[in-house]
Amino acid sequence: MNTTLRVLERLEGLLLPGGQRVARRNAWSAVLEGRRRARARGEATAVLEAAATRSRRAT
């Protein structure tokens, strides 16, 4: 996998101007960060729902 990544990075370097390369990497970083936040939101929602369910049973 690392070899494939390196080949793709070299190919990207040959085909894309520097600014476009940086923009593409920034965009990908934003996508990954969005996915991380969505996963964290989902986990937080699950915890809150579980806590609400437990408190209803306790009363």
- pTM here is 0.60
| 3-state SS assignment for residue 17 | coil
* Residue 49, domain member (yes or no): yes
Q: What mean pLDDT do residues 49-58 have?
A: 83
Token pair in block for residue 57:
């049973």
Instruction: Take residue 14 and report the two structure tokens written for it.
Output: 């040959």
DSSP 29: H
**Burial letters 20-52, b for 16+ CB under 10 A, else e:** eeeeeeeeeeeeeeeeeeeeeeeeeeeeeeeee
- Residue 39 resides in a domain: yes
Counting the structural domains of the chain, the total is 1
Domain assignment of residue 51, yes or no: yes
Tens of pLDDT, residues 8-45: 888 877 887 877 888 888 999 999 999 999 999 999 99
Q: Is residue 13 part of a domain?
A: no
Q: Is 54 part of a structural domain of the chain?
A: yes
pLDDT of residue 51: 92
Show the domain range for 47: 18-58
Answer yes or no: is pLDDT of 55 > 80. Answer: no
